[in-house]
Structure 1
Amino acid sequence: MKYKKSFGEKLFDIFVYILLTLLMFATFYPIYNIFVASISSVSEIAKHGSLMLYPRDITFDTYKAVFQNELILKGLRNTTFYVVLGTSINMILTTFAAYGLSRKWLKGRKIIMFGIVLTMFFSGGLIPSFMIVQKLGMYNTIWALLLPGAMSAWNLIMMRTYFMGLPVSLEESARIDGANDFQILFRVILPTSKPILAVMVLFYAVGHWNSWFSASIFLQNRELYPLQLILREILIQGRVADFGGNAANVTHQVAKNLKYATIIVSTIPILIIYPFIQKYFVKGVMLGSLKE
């Protein structure tokens, strides 16, 4: 029998569609506007303003300037390295910790979890963190960006909850066949946990990709700067001289165009990756937050 919606339900659906459409527009248009401005000529932007519905007098000169800038290319390489290595460290530590804390045979796991959750509400602060990094010899090295935040308490809780929701019979069957904990984790638990693993990879990777604050505190060597810190210098400090020449012969509008192009270059990689793991992302968030 086909269910017929009442007038109130139809009205509510219309309201939801309108609200989601407005939210989609509010989210999409800033990125679209920056892209349009980045490929429009300087004269057209000066004539019509930055807010344009379509590109005018299309040119890719600003993108050529961005990709010819050695500092940005080096920042892109550094960020890619930080994302790959950092996410690998994050996933290894989070997976092992979540599996151990999800097993009932681990003694004191509730006390350990309480200590982990406590770190979500209280932290040492910036100065103690800086002193620890400096005393451990990690200051002005890549490890200052990777090790202090090697594991997220929130991500650990999500993965632990997911592991606890898996059927106990899977582990029991594996133990009957003589499997140890490493074999159970890698051959039984992880193959059935692709959704939550995809979510964790996305969370950690995006976090590393967008990270700039830690680099601004712990790094002095510009050769180690991630792309986002370089982008911050271009946007806030107006370092247009890094694109060649000097700031005196670069107009304000040209500087804005360079900023637009740099923003697009730093955003596109994550936008390209996300659609391929979206199905795992939605499923992983739901299953990782529920336990039957």
Structure 2
Amino acid sequence: MDRLTEMEAFATVVDQGGFTDAARKLGISKSAVSKHVSSLEARLGARLLNRTTRRVSPTDIGLIYYDRARRVLNDAGEADSIVTAMQSEPSGMLRMSVPTDFGVSYLSTMIGQFMQNYPEVTVNMVLKNRHVELISEGFDMAIRIGEQEDSSLRARRFCQTTQRLVASPEYLARQGRPARIDDLTDHRLLHYSTQASGNVWKITAPTGELRQVRSSGWLTVNDGRSLLDAAVAGLGIAYLPSFLYHEALREGLVEDVIPDLPREVQGIYAVYPPGRFTQPKVRAFIDFLVERFADLGPDTW
């Protein structure tokens, strides 16, 4: 006989307190339940149930076996549920945290197509420039840029971007072009106010050394698009990702300030909580991102 069937019959007898109620619960005959339990006891060579005319109860060995058997049965049931869930259509609320610049520039224009593809999914996209706590703050997933420090989360890279120093031709003609990283201290620098390290840029020198440029910043803003606008207007030098500056660079509104610097390539990731399986709505959106960004980045946007 099937081992799981025997386990299920035995565990149900214990749960229901007798063969009659167990048979009703399982939807089979009382004699079939008795046959399964007897076969299990014969195979194990142990008596698992005390049988009287009034009640049925597990023996000491039977109680220990019941605890283990119930775990196995629960795991088997969960495995079946996972397969069912994995094959089900994505549905429900998808709540995600997205960096403001990336969300405004790209996801906000793409999200409509995803929702048309999956009409049973509703989306709550929260634009934030800080890393949220996914589980405690109730998020299904997040988009994050750069090195992933939280190793407890699952992450899938779907694109890359670069970081470059950019400024308008007018600013460089007026203030001069810095030849080295050290020259930046003599220039007007435009900073993100949300940087955890303060107004500090970490830039890789041509030698491969990681340098830090500290400045109070002539202008500090918590929005990358505003920093780009300020750079285009000739207010100073900004350190921005390619998904923000690419169009202005192509149109000649800004220039690469120190072209000899190595490219600073950063991954763009979909991160989500760890678990035995990924929710269909999360999996569907990540697959959507991978498809839509297949031909974008790190320099081509």
TM over 0.5: no
TM-score range, shorter chain: under 0.3
| TM-score of the two chains, using structure 1 as the length reference | 0.23
Return the structure number with greater helix share. Answer: 1
Looking at CA atoms only, which structure, 1 or 2, has the larger radius of gyration?
2
